């Protein structure tokens, strides 16, 4: 495993832990998009179905189980345990505009027309846009809590590091996956504006806001 994949995985895990700790400590899911979290749960569920069919390593299995478990725990907190604090009025992004086109694209463009491969491809495409409801929610409310911005930064950093992982694997292993790379580029681009605001505002102690 190269350093970019390892640090990417750790950044991804940090993002998930930051979000869960934010919700648990504040006993509130204010400012968190439940729709984005449902999409992420769907991403992990469809991507890691190979847990039932193959074994790669203890690390691989452990991380997959953690991602799935934390995703559903977050959804549970938002829609059940701390439902009274969830701002459904501002979390109004139409997720069907993401899921339906992504599903169609996964059926048309994939590596192998098998069920598991189509679902894996669907998860890759969906992950690239799953953060849009969260960014849309921030743009509607006009600002985001600092801890939420740290979560988003770690999430975006994970994807950026995975782009370097793909470059590393191409040069040192001869491995190239166009679907994963293109989806990763799209996802990273979506975070670019946020990265700029994070560096220029949040790290200077200012509250982040996105234009409506």
pLDDT at 159: 87
Q: Are 195 and 153 in contact (CB under 8 A)?
A: yes
Q: For the whole prediction, is pTM greater than 0.85?
A: yes
pLDDT at 188: 87
pLDDT at 199: 66
Identify the segments of the chain with pLDDT beneath 70.
196-212
pLDDT at 150: 87
pLDDT at 140: 82
Helix (H) or strand (E) holding 195: helix 178-200
Tell me the DSSP string of 105-166: HHHHS-SS-SHHHHHHHHHHHHHHHTTHHHHHHHHHHS-B-HHHHHHHHHHHHHHHHHHHHH
pLDDT at 197: 67
**Distance in angstroms (rounded) separating the CA atoms of residues 8 and 6:** 5
**Distance in angstroms (rounded) separating the CA atoms of residues 163 and 5:** 9
| Paired tokens of 146 | 């600092």
pLDDT at 52: 85
């Amino acid at each position: 495993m190269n350093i970019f994949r390892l640090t990417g995985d750790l950044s991804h895990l940090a993002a998930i832990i930051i979000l869960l700790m934010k919700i648990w400590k504040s006993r509130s899911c204010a400012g968190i998009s439940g729709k984005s979290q449902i999409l992420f749960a769907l991403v992990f569920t469809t991507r890691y179905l190979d847990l039932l069919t193959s074994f790669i390593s203890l690390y691989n299995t452990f991380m997959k189980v953690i991602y799935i478990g934390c995703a559903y725990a977050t959804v549970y907190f938002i829609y059940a345990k701390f439902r009274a604090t969830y701002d459904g009025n501002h979390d109004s992004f139409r997720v069907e505009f993401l899921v339906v086109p992504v599903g169609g694209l996964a059926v048309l463009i994939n590596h192998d027309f098998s069920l598991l491969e189509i679902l894996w491809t669907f998860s890759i495409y969906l992950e690239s846009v799953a953060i849009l409801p969260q960014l849309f929610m921030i743009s509607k409310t006009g600002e985001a809590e600092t801890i939420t911005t740290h979560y988003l930064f770690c999430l975006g950093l994970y994807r950026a590091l995975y782009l370097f992982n793909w470059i590393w694997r191409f040069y040192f292993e001869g491995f190239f996956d166009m679907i994963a790379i293109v989806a990763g580029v799209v996802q990273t681009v979506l975070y670019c504006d946020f990265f700029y605001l994070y560096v220029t505002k949040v790290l200077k102690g200012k509250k982040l806001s996105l234009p409506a």
